[in-house]
Structure 1
């Protein structure tokens, strides 16, 4: 905080003044007496050449420790004092914020400092605040020096009021009133009461756009975050008006036109008059579009250093006679900048030099490059982590100290830190080192969030009905980055208890370890699939080895015990035959797993681009049963436009037994099809092999294909948490040596009674306050005997 002081403060050093200090605090002095100079000559001498101080006295302190004054001032007993030193003392003491007045007198060789302490805030309260968390605001004020027990500064209080006013305006409450009542409490103390009248949100009733002939109203409104008040505005809050949001919207509209080649575009009028009903405002925007410009040529100039020109030529490409787009040109500039930063030129200057030809409506674009000097990283700092250990963050950093600066590594490090899940914000600052042109410091700033969770929830699906879930977990134990959790799930057909732990850096090379101990039961009779109950308990241990930043391979061990309970009269005959074959209903398996994954998705919650692949192989060579299972999954998300995404998912699973006459694939490991997550429009688990009694027995071979076109809900284009989608699904399920009189399910067939099932329809996904929620309405195709139709399906408490 900086404070401006009256000029009189710096004129208080008058060497010819004489003063006594009956109650003063003294600095230690070697002289027992002081002499007072009274002549003009002495005054002149003391101001020009200064005097050697024999003592320093401090008057006026009631609360402060005199030692803090002596430590702060830039002069000590035995040192020379003059007017310049006096000005420094005044500045230093005022800068502490503890004093409202500072006076200096020179009594001979004794410096007398007289201070008037600021009042202390004895009580600070905020009333009327509803939109923000009062505790968080008070914590922020304390971090900025305004809190109970701190010195009271009227200028700082005004700043606090202005900041609160701006905070409310940014949230849409532009008419909020912020007042403060300051009451003296005696003994240099004051109480401060901040009173807030939040008022109501200013709603946008209409948006009127005039002068646009080439670009539609709809396209312009889509570029704006602000929207007129609608039936979903209570949720999206996009109809709340703020001047800052409108300014950003105007810039977005300008960018929309610039991306379509209208380089002469401009606003001729922007007004926000009251609406006709007096309950909000209208936004009136007049524009002039101009003509479209096309790019006639694009080239680069400047010093490329050691970077091959062909590398830059590949980047600086633009279709000839294509419309000029500021976004595409900016992407070229960013790519050139990143290419130079990869060679250590972190401060490279890359500028666009467009030369328009108004008569031909064309633009010649030159990318001017000035690489500056190669830069090295002096120091990497981590700021904001009070709980998470430094090493947990630093082990994700791929930019090394003393190494050449590489922007790709710096940004990759930021992303890896963000993916830890311990922080709400992760930012990176690159700061040149003062006085050195070839060095920078890289600082990662994080904002920590609570990583321990206690959850109790209810879920509901159209198949399993009501489900209860509960978990307690800590994802960052003692700031080490390790996790420990207990999960409990129960529904109509399932019971699950799992204790799990993970260590992402089981070794210093980044080998991860995940371990879980679990107990599960599954009763298929409760959802009318078959009269079978499974009880499973086991232990799963998996190690992941990073091959690259995107690739990881896995190795695991999974010993497991399964117990099966059957009704011999109503259960599937194949299950009964399996148990009779082994003469037991309890089976022990020891699974060895290996796998590989590849992930470039931009989000795991609502991805809009990227690829995810997973390959897994499980082998059980020892135990009661011997089998293997291979799985491969491929997902891709392709952005077709700003709001439209094409999503593709396919999965292949193949399982079989081995080991002689008893080498059948375990039926309790069977896979199922139908419902959300597989092929919609059919009941969960109701597709595939069906025995003579009508039991769905599952299978060991599966093909699954899903496609979706995802787009925003009307009026909620800025909210990624609410999405509509159209979809088409296809899937098939087969089982070893399973045949009925009507159909042979032992052979993989894309058609016929054992062939693929299809469906198509529409759906809605919503990240609601009670958890991820998904609805779908599907029309099944190619239905066969035994298939169970369920066109409308939904889930609460589970994600896609």
Structure 2
């Protein structure tokens, strides 16, 4: 059957109008009549339609001031009846242990002494639940409840059930062939639940961390030449007991690419590419990394600024060679847009001075605008550690040829008070208290005070650093250090006071030079009469207080972080101190160190080689044991502090004398032990060979000295490294393959440092 219905429009109805000469308002106590009328939008004596009456009702109902509203027209009188929402008297939290009340109050928008809004309380409960979810407690529940008080007041109580952590029971990867699961797990910020799961906060599943971890994986592969690497998906599944997650990352690694042909061309009139060709450091055959390309571009643009070439831009053009798995890079020099920096606006820095932020920019007002430099400046601002967030954006200025750089920051605490403990065979049990401020008085200066006490050593120190002296890339440091020692490895006590101001500045991309002045006052102190002291040491004690005044320098070259190869790096240090600018001594002291590191077997094994040495050339004054080199286990393992080198056996003593010359070579490998990596336990083997000798310019009269000519000692050993939640713990077990009969061997060593 087919039926058709015809719809005929009804005649338009005339809207009814009201005119109210009287408005009666009941039920209001806090909100005045005039305020209610103003919110309702009704005036006495003016025509009001039915739609306007409905709008008045909605306005009052949505004002957040009333629990209920009724509007009733009675002839020429409009009656408004309201029930006011209560005043929020007090906000409290119950059941919370993981998150403190102060942190929860910062999450909610409900305020005491204001009108209670039920919908706002529900939103606050959701915000608290999300905070617990970010802590990995996905089962947390929050229930807002009210307790009625007199005078139309209520207390708001958030009843919190925190629940248990939803831990990550297993982090795994699918599709990874080049790197093992254990290596990739070390890349992620999220960690797998392990032995100390109650102390580790990063082993809980937080959905917001997934994107960050994916980017960290992507950056890891890109820096190693895997330009096609993709994270195709992340699967997170709850365990049957619903108390943990199995998280799996699906990966497509792709092929590793290396740099092919690296060329430089200029499309900018007046700029010859040949003049900049030597600045490009990347060479064919090196594993491709975007950061190396960015570094080359930044280097080229900085050189252009030095040459007075404005608006020069460098664009990399990448060409893939699938057959030989290389990427040809062509740096194209071109002229950028003629845009200038009009000004730099900084907001949000209530403590940090503007100049601290401004000196992170190489550009100032009126300089050509370089987007790459602005991005690098933003990274430098974030790296300061002064701000919780830092956003740097550019917008058009007063004309199309000018831009304004906006810097919006949110400050965070930069001071810390640390209590620490340590234990070692050499110094015993120690307690350390330190105060550090990374942004002193908002000037970007660093100030630290430290007190450390151990059973055989006490130390007090003050350090101050101005990172940009007079607004330039020159750091000024001041170190004041006082130490007392009563080591069981020596027959005397010692006191030492050091004052050391210094200047440091970069001399190359990876090189830095420090110039310093060192004033040192030291004294050797005899113990009670029952302690036997050798004649050589007795001469040092009889010399009393000695003052040395020295000018020195130290050059450091470090590619372990910024080098071309992310799996290898070199540290080189060379320094000298020239004493004789006043004081009681005149000498030249030289030290040098070279460290080479390389990660092999898919970066699961770290190889490290260290060569370290020093020489002391004495001219005048008392050449004492505290001035000479004394080898500690941190320099050469397998022996006590001062356990190798010349010794004085006179008067029944056995005193280490140190030496004017030393050299130590160390070879070590660190590797996994096959234990779950979340335990943080790894192993290592090492081989140390070293020598300490020469007592030239030392008064040996009356002494029974052995070992002056020196000999090379050889030590092999095994290490266990344990990254515990309370600090790094290291065990060394060693055996001396070659030593002298008078050496003091130390077969077992354990060190632990922590802050709490």
* TM norm structure 1: 0.67
CA offset at residue 445 of structure 1? 2.5
The match for 1:129 among 77, 89, 96 is 96
Cα deviation code 1:412-435 (max 9, x no counterpart): 6556656766x3646342233378
The match for 1:792 among 743, 748, 752 is 748
Alignment partners' CA distance in 1, 2:445 and 2:249? 57
Alignment partners' CA distance in 1, 2:23 and 2:483? 85
**Residue aligning to 1:593:** 551
Alignment partners' CA distance in 1, 2:66 and 2:518? 69
515-524 or 307-316, larger mean C-alpha shift: 307-316
Decide whether the 8 Å contact of 1:211 with 1:287 is kept in 2: yes
Decide whether the 8 Å contact of 1:203 with 1:279 is kept in 2: no
**Residue aligning to 1:681:** 638
Does 2:519 match 1:558?
A: yes
Alignment partners' CA distance in 2, 1:18 and 1:502? 77
CA offset at residue 187 of structure 1? 6.6
Decide whether the 8 Å contact of 1:592 with 1:618 is kept in 2: yes
Alignment partners' CA distance in 1, 2:198 and 2:434? 32
Mapping 1:225-374, distance limit 5 Å: 230-231=194-195, 233-236=197-200, 240-245=204-209, 270=235, 272=237, 274-275=239-240, 278=241, 280=243, 283=246, 328=288, 331=291, 373=337
**Matched position secondary structure for 1:686:** coil
Alignment partners' CA distance in 2, 1:718 and 1:346? 49
Q: How many residues align?
A: 693
Distance 1:444-1:713 versus aligned 2 partners, 3 A rule: farther
CA offset at residue 679 of structure 1? 0.9
Mapping 1:31-430, distance limit 5 Å: 62=30, 121-141=88-108, 145-149=109-113, 156-182=120-146, 190-205=154-169, 230-231=194-195, 233-236=197-200, 240-245=204-209, 270=235, 272=237, 274-275=239-240, 278=241, 280=243, 283=246, 328=288, 331=291, 373=337, 375-406=339-370, 409-410=373-374, 413=377, 423=386, 425=388, 427-430=390-393
Does 2:612 match 1:656?
A: no
**Residue aligning to 1:732:** 691
Alignment partners' CA distance in 2, 1:288 and 1:768? 31
Alignment partners' CA distance in 2, 1:363 and 1:92? 68
685-694 or 566-575, larger mean C-alpha shift: 566-575
**Matched position secondary structure for 2:647:** coil
Distance 1:117-1:624 versus aligned 2 partners, 3 A rule: same
Distance 1:782-1:417 versus aligned 2 partners, 3 A rule: farther
**Residue aligning to 1:54:** none
Alignment partners' CA distance in 2, 1:266 and 1:397? 35
Decide whether the 8 Å contact of 2:500 with 2:517 is kept in 1: yes
Alignment partners' CA distance in 1, 2:237 and 2:435? 50
Does 2:577 match 1:613?
A: no
**Residue aligning to 1:703:** 663
CA offset at residue 493 of structure 1? 3.1
439-448 or 683-692, larger mean C-alpha shift: 439-448
Decide whether the 8 Å contact of 1:674 with 1:681 is kept in 2: no
Alignment partners' CA distance in 2, 1:458 and 1:294? 47
**Matched position secondary structure for 1:479:** coil
Does 2:427 match 1:464?
A: yes
CA offset at residue 623 of structure 1? 3.5
**Residue aligning to 2:409:** 445
372-381 or 783-792, larger mean C-alpha shift: 372-381
**Residue aligning to 1:534:** 494
Alignment partners' CA distance in 2, 1:684 and 1:215? 41
Please identify which structure carries the higher strand content: 2
Cα deviation code 1:239-263 (max 9, x no counterpart): 5344455676678788999989796
**Matched position secondary structure for 1:542:** strand
Distance 1:722-1:371 versus aligned 2 partners, 3 A rule: farther
CA offset at residue 127 of structure 1? 2.5
Decide whether the 8 Å contact of 1:414 with 1:444 is kept in 2: no
Q: Which runs of 5+ in 2 are unaligned?
A: 1-14, 40-56, 71-80, 305-309
**Residue aligning to 2:626:** 668
CA offset at residue 139 of structure 1? 2.4
What is the CA RMSD across the aligned residues, in angstroms?
A: 5.9
CA offset at residue 401 of structure 1? 3.2
CA offset at residue 21 of structure 1? 8.2
The match for 2:719 among 755, 758, 762 is 762
**Residue aligning to 1:777:** 733
678-687 or 114-123, larger mean C-alpha shift: 114-123
Alignment partners' CA distance in 2, 1:599 and 1:97? 65
The match for 2:396 among 423, 430, 433 is 433
Distance 1:265-1:485 versus aligned 2 partners, 3 A rule: closer
CA offset at residue 265 of structure 1? 8.1
Distance 1:210-1:585 versus aligned 2 partners, 3 A rule: closer
Decide whether the 8 Å contact of 1:601 with 1:610 is kept in 2: yes
Decide whether the 8 Å contact of 1:349 with 1:372 is kept in 2: no
Decide whether the 8 Å contact of 2:645 with 2:707 is kept in 1: no
**Matched position secondary structure for 2:368:** coil
**Matched position secondary structure for 1:165:** helix
758-767 or 123-132, larger mean C-alpha shift: 758-767
Decide whether the 8 Å contact of 1:347 with 1:375 is kept in 2: no
Cα deviation code 1:488-524 (max 9, x no counterpart): 3333333334455555566454665544555443334
Structure of higher RCO (CA pairs closer than 8 Å, 6+ residues apart): 2
Distance 1:621-1:556 versus aligned 2 partners, 3 A rule: closer
**Residue aligning to 1:85:** none
**Residue aligning to 1:629:** 589
Decide whether the 8 Å contact of 1:484 with 1:501 is kept in 2: yes
**Residue aligning to 1:690:** 647
Cα deviation code 1:381-434 (max 9, x no counterpart): 44444333333444454442332344665466556656766x364634223337
Does 2:528 match 1:571?
A: no
Alignment partners' CA distance in 2, 1:711 and 1:764? 10
**Residue aligning to 1:80:** none
**Residue aligning to 2:708:** 745
Cα deviation code 1:263-316 (max 9, x no counterpart): 6989699572643xx354564869797997989999999996678778799989
**Residue aligning to 1:546:** 505
**Matched position secondary structure for 1:668:** coil
Alignment partners' CA distance in 2, 1:211 and 1:398? 43
**Matched position secondary structure for 2:495:** strand
Q: Which runs of 5+ in 1 are unaligned?
A: 1-13, 25-59, 73-89, 104-113, 747-752
